[in-house]
Amino acid sequence: MGIDNLKIGELAQLANVTKRTVDYYTNLGLLQARRSSSNYRYYTEDELERLRLIVEYKRNKYSLEEIKAFLLKREQEETEVEQARHELTCKLTHINQELKEVISFLEKNKHNKPMLNQHVSHESVTLIQSLTALFLV
């Protein structure tokens, strides 16, 4: 049995709480379980860590409402970070493609170097070299 298939009793034991506590937190929406075809609840390692976090906050006298609000805010922040990471990855992919096109153009036109020198400033060349070093994989 893997850590992603913890039954309620196993989860409770690993977190040093009762099965009733796990059941209560699940009913409140603090924990998520997937149901098997035979209606057993199974918990993941993420839920174990979440339960341990809940227990720690309870130990520090936070109410379940405060804990739920904190966990919700944490999930929202994680979602925002993931969205920002995705947007950045897309932008970097786009920049990488543009750099490849510029490099391809420059390589095809090496024989026209005097003409290129007239149309491409020293700053542009420096920028292209810097971006190439940073983003080309």
pLDDT tens, position by position, 78-130: 999 999 999 989 988 888 888 788 788 777 777 776 666 666 677 777 777 77
Q: What is the pLDDT of residue 94?
A: 82
Question: What is the domain class of 1-62 according to CATH?
Answer: mainly alpha
- Which whole number is the average pLDDT over 15-19? 97
Query: 1 pLDDT band (50/70/90 cuts)?
Result: very low
Q: What angle do CA 52, 57, 62 make, to 5 degrees?
A: 150
Q: What is the pLDDT of residue 120?
A: 66
What residue type is assigned to position 64 of the chain? L
pLDDT tens, position by position, 22-60: 999 999 999 999 999 998 999 999 999 999 999 999 999
pLDDT tens, position by position, 57-83: 999 999 999 999 999 999 999 999 999
Question: Is the whole model's pTM more than 0.85, yes or no?
Answer: no
Coil vs helix vs strand at 4: coil
Residues 6, 11, 15, 30, Cα dihedral to 10°: 100
Domain ranges of the chain: 1-62, 81-137
Say if residue 2's pLDDT is above 60: no
